[in-house]
Amino acid sequence: QVQLVESGGGLVQAGGSPRLSCAASGNILNLNVMGWYRQAPGKQRELVATMTRSHITAYADSAKGRFTISRDNAKNTVYLQMNNLKPEDTAVYYCTTSRTVVGAPAFWGQGTQVTVSS
């Protein structure tokens, strides 16, 4: 099993630029894909961004140009730099990881709340 712990959430003013972090522990071998999903109130979870160990990235349209995903393989940590936050970015952000390139994430963190105020 893999454990994922997110940090960096909280209350942010619109236009703010917080950074989320997620550290993986447990069976951390061959975590090919790490990424971020989010779930807004009353909505389904949606992909935000993913990155492979070789630093190939994929972004949701809502994240392109504003969010940047990065990872430190030596520290088993993935980050999400969020710029120019909007109220519609308010959601619980979940760290995910998988040993496969495609498909649903195999492991999920507990989530960290990001609330964007006007």
Q: How confident is the model at residue 15, as a pLDDT?
A: 98
pLDDT higher than threshold 90 for residue 101: no
For residue range 67-94, list pLDDT tens digits in order.
Answer: 999 999 999 999 999 999 999 999 999 9
Average pLDDT, the chain: 95
CB 69 within 8 A of CB 36: yes
* Strand partners for 54: none
Q: How confident is the model at residue 102, as a pLDDT?
A: 78
**% of residues, the chain, pLDDT over 90:** 94
For residue range 30-73, list pLDDT tens digits in order.
Answer: 999 999 999 999 999 999 999 999 999 999 999 999 999 999 99
pLDDT higher than threshold 90 for residue 104: no
